[in-house]
Amino acid sequence: MRVTENIEEYLELLWIFEERGKSIAKINEIAESLKIAPPSAVEMLKKMEEMGLVEYETRVGVNLTKKGRSVARQVVRNHRLAELLLTDILNMKLDKSVHDNACGLEHHISKEIADAVCTALNHPEKCPHGNKIPSGECCK
């Protein structure tokens, strides 16, 4: 099974939960954040566990594995760099449209393009919202 955009959305959400100090995410929190029913979240998380992306324990919650964290890191990096690309290079106003467009772009930006955008922006540390941008190979 390949990592789909839908799976990337789950991974991104789990990364954000971790950033906020929540190492174990509850199913209800995930379902509410993604605006889906808890059984749908459980079904997807079980698939993701089979792929080695998360560890899921019934009635406890879910957390990222090393593999899942690596994929999530790139998705978050892509999203935050895409926001900067849209605001700082294309001079778009920071609003819901920028977030939505960055959300679409994050799934289609390769590591090479992310590094090129990062380099063009002089290796920014934060996105327009003030969130930390995970560093890439180009930042070393």
Strand partners, 57: 61
Read off the DSSP letter of residue 38.
H
Q: Which residues contact 94 (CB under 8 A, 6 or more apart)?
A: 83, 87, 128, 129
pLDDT at 24: 94
Instruction: State the Cα angle at 53 between 48 and 58, rounded to 5°.
Output: 60
Of 45, 38, 133, nearest in space to 81 by CA = 133
Residue 114 · residue 77 · CB < 8 Å: yes
Q: How confident is the model at residue 58 (pLDDT cuts 50, 70, 90)?
A: confident
* Domain over 5-69 is classified CATH 1.10.10.10: yes
At 32-51, the pLDDT tens digits run 999 999 999 999 999 999 99
Strand partners, 48: none
| Spatial distance between the Cα atoms of 16 and 70, rounded to a whole number of angstroms | 13
- The amino acid occupying position 25 is A
| Domain map (residue ranges) of the chain | 5-69
Question: Quick one: what percent of the chain has pLDDT higher than 70?
Answer: 100
Tell me how far apart the alpha carbons of residues 36 and 23 are, in angstroms, rounded to a whole number.
21
